[in-house]
Amino acid sequence: MDGKLVRLRAYEKSDLDAVMKWVNDEEVTDLLGGEMLAYPVSSIAEAKFIEAYASPSDKQKNFAIETLAERRYIGAISFNVIDWQSRHAGIGIVIGDKSLWGKGYGTDAMRIMMRLAFDKMNLHRLYLDVHDYNTRAIASYEKCGFRREAVLREHHFGRGKYCDTIVMGILESEYRALA
């Protein structure tokens, strides 16, 4: 699935080396939710994770992000909790290569996911949550048309203190209005 700068494709075993370059980088993992990457990750554990992550499921659809120009792996994006009855899905995204932040790759990947969700999977709502200090991510999601829907106060603990978590979402009707 191609955008203007990136392509989303299935994960492959051969992505392991590229993933290991960012998965233990605290500057990257501090910005992600949950505890999963709070501790050092071995290549053994990561290989198992990739195997599960790459396997199709009704509840999750996970993709590698690669540059269109060089076909180089740069990160991951997923529908991580799909609810087919209410037709909504949560999204997670990471551009693991820090040198590529702020160059439009994440926004492009998110727009491909929106196209996939609303034009192909027939979903009704997409949502995600983000630490309040992750201003780059919030700017990217707002550019895509996501709105701030809720604040979960002091929801996340990291960097020695609590921060608020912002829930952002976009409805299918809002996506259609963007076009």
Ligand X SMILES: CC(C)(COP(=O)(O)OP(=O)(O)OC[C@H]1O[C@@H](n2cnc3c(N)ncnc32)[C@H](O)[C@@H]1OP(=O)(O)O)[C@@H](O)C(=O)NCCC(=O)NCCS
Binding site for ligand X (CB under 6 A): 28, 31-32, 75, 93-95, 101-107, 128, 130, 134-137, 139-140, 143
Give me the least distance between CB of 85 and ligand X, in Å please.
25
62 versus 85: smaller Cβ distance to ligand X: 62
122 versus 148: smaller Cβ distance to ligand X: 148
- Say which residues have a Cβ less than 8 Å from residue 169's Cβ, sequence separation at least 6: 125, 126, 127, 128, 146, 147, 149
Give me the least distance between CB of 80 and ligand X, in Å please.
11
- Say which residues have a Cβ less than 8 Å from residue 148's Cβ, sequence separation at least 6: 138, 166, 167, 168
Distance of CA 62 to the CA centre of its chain: 9
Structure tokens at 163: 């921060």
Give me the least distance between CB of 39 and ligand X, in Å please.
18
Distance CA 115, CA 80 (A): 16
Give me the least distance between CB of 128 and ligand X, in Å please.
6
Give me the least distance between CB of 33 and ligand X, in Å please.
6
94 versus 123: smaller Cβ distance to ligand X: 94
Q: Is the dihedral of CA 91, 97, 101, 106 positive or negative?
A: negative
Residue nearest to ligand X (CB): 106
84 versus 159: smaller Cβ distance to ligand X: 159
149 versus 173: smaller Cβ distance to ligand X: 149
Residue with tokens 């290569």: 97
